[in-house]
Structure formats: structure tokens, C-alpha cells
A and B are shown apart, each in its own frame.
Chain A
């Protein structure tokens, strides 16, 4: 049963530190999404890629967030420097196109 995997599952860090989250999409999927979920804002789309090329990152704070796909089996989301307001659950999802998305278990980030 193919699944999206994310690492780490939990991360506690101090303000100002760099945070890197990783995602392994399901093999063969051509689209990868990064979402952030908080109680206040709900589910927000940060960025997405198709065939490893970034299509839209307008949901990300540009000054501190960056997303990349070094290869078809790895997507990364980096925050540098991190701030307490970045505390959230970050989800990666993959799919063939955008309709049916398979979500990973998420990375729970706490920035102190």
C-alpha cells in the first residue's frame, strides 16, 4: 500500500533556527503539494510542484520559506529563520494532477 512519507514527524526548535521538512511522494505521482494546518487559519496551501517544477508558491512567506524538489522522490520545505508563528502541522500530499491527493501524516512543528 503506497503512502506518502514525511520526516520528521515531530520537531521542536528554538526561534531563529533552520527547519527542514522532507517528503517522499508516492512513486509515479507527478504533483506534490505542501500545506500548513493551524487551529486559527485552518488548512493553507503553501506551494506545489508538477514534474518537479514549482507551479505556485504564492502561499508561502517568501522571505523565510523555500520549497524544492531535488528529485522525483524527495520534496523539501525549509524555514530559515523559524519564528513561533510558524508552529503548525505541515502536510505534504502527492497525486496524479490535483484532483485526488494522498496526504502524508504531517510534521508537527513547534517553534519556541
Chain B
């Protein structure tokens, strides 16, 4: 079945560091890919998405590129802030599917 695998957390970085959170997927067909973010004490919210190969999703300084050849959708940010501390979830949905498939989440902590 469809699945999403994220890099193990937790990840701890200093402010202004470069961030990469790896995400790879297994899916039948051509999925749409998503990153959701969960700030402390809140529900998940959509951060960015890409619907076809080579698309780049971006939002709030975060970027992720849909790489079909490596079945990956890694999340990157050039300079993180303390306010980026959160749990990040990679997810996919295939055409015609009724629900998102989430990865296990990666907890990110940014120290000042």
C-alpha cells in the first residue's frame, strides 16, 4: 500500500541554520505530496504542496520539490527561526483516494 517515510527525529538546530527534513514515499500512480506543520498545542496545518513531478511547493520560506525519480519530497529552509519549532508531517494522496497518508512526523526544535 501507499506509505510515507520521514527522517527520524527529533532534530535540533540553532537559529539561522539550514534545515532539511527528508521524506520519501511509496505509491501506486502519481500522488500529490504535502507538508503539514503542527505547532505546539495546535492541530496540523498545510504548509505546502506539489501535485506533479518537478513541481516546487513553497511557503513561509520553506520549499520542497517533487522528485519522481527518487520518490522524494524533502523539506528545506535556508535559515530557520525559533518560531519554526514544530512537528512536520509529510503526506501523500493518490488520484481517486479518499484520504491522506501521513508520515510519522519529525519534531524540530530551534535554539536561539
Q: Which residues in A have some Cβ–Cβ distance to B below 8 Å?
A: 4, 33, 42-43, 45, 48, 50, 55-56, 91, 93, 98-106
Our count of residue pairs bridging A and B at CB distance below 8 angstroms stands at 47
In the complex, given contacts A42-B104, A98-B100, what are 9 additional A-B residue pairs having Cβ atoms less than 8 angstroms apart?
A: A4-B43, A42-B105, A45-B99, A48-B98, A56-B98, A98-B98, A101-B44, A101-B100, A102-B45
10 pairs of A and B residues whose beta carbons are closest in the complex: A103-B43, A103-B44, A42-B104, A91-B43, A98-B99, A43-B102, A104-B43, A105-B43, A106-B43, A98-B98
Give A50 to B97 CA distance when docked, in angstroms: 13
Query: Number of contacting residues on B, CB 8 A?
Result: 18
B42 within 8 A of A: yes
Q: Which residues in B have some Cβ–Cβ distance to A below 8 Å?
A: 32, 34, 41-46, 49, 89, 93, 97-100, 102, 104-105
Chain A residues touching B, majority SS: strand
User: CB-CB < 8 A to B46: which residues of A?
Assistant: 100-102
Q: List 5 A-B contacts (CB under 8 A).
A: A45-B99, A91-B43, A98-B97, A101-B46, A103-B43
Give A99 to B99 CA distance when docked, in angstroms: 7
